[in-house]
Amino acid sequence: MTPGGHVGASIVATYVITNYVFKTEVTPVVLGLAALVGLLPDVDGIVTMIAKRERPMQQKVQHHRYVPHSPLFYLALTLLLTLVVPPQTAVLFGALTFVHLLLDSWATDDGIMWLWPLSRRQFGLFPRNLHAGGVFGLDFYLRVLRCAPVIVPEILLVLTGLTLTFRAVSFAQLG
């Protein structure tokens, strides 16, 4: 999933959890923070690009095989967060990072380490190797556009996220 899809999914998940589980009105600030948390697991991609000099325009950045892309890591972080933030904030953090990992397992060529630390094997659902034949950078994203199982959820998440953000901003201005 691209960063746009992760941001869209984070906004949708936050909207649903805040409104229907916590029964409180979501604010634009909360949605903005949710977007950042939804991107948090990909910090290991930035570290990989710097430390291993992997260039996304020339090769696949292999960041799904590191601990910041494992469920147990975020379960531990969520439990630690409960010590310093309200429980609802910790629950939202745990849910958003879990959604990120789910999306990184969807129609991908590698998936994430769902069983770490028991195993470093990566699991994906409906695998699609869009890097096949050495396709990276812009050519990779052009291939993404032609792959319905990838691009349809991506577009739906981005459009729904934009709609919910617009709605939250509109209500904030009215209130």
Binding stretches for Zn ion (CB under 5 A): 41-42, 104
Is the CB of 1 or the CB of 92 nearer to Zn ion? 1
Tell me how long the chain is: 175
Min dist. Cβ of residue 94 to Zn ion (A): 16
Min dist. Cβ of residue 12 to Zn ion (A): 17
Q: Is 28 exposed, middle or buried (0-12, 13-18, 19+ CB in 10 A)?
A: middle
Is the CB of 41 or the CB of 124 nearer to Zn ion? 41
Is the CB of 38 or the CB of 165 nearer to Zn ion? 38
Min dist. Cβ of residue 96 to Zn ion (A): 12
Gap between the Cα atoms of 59 and 42, Å rounded: 16
Min dist. Cβ of residue 13 to Zn ion (A): 15
Is the CB of 42 or the CB of 110 nearer to Zn ion? 42
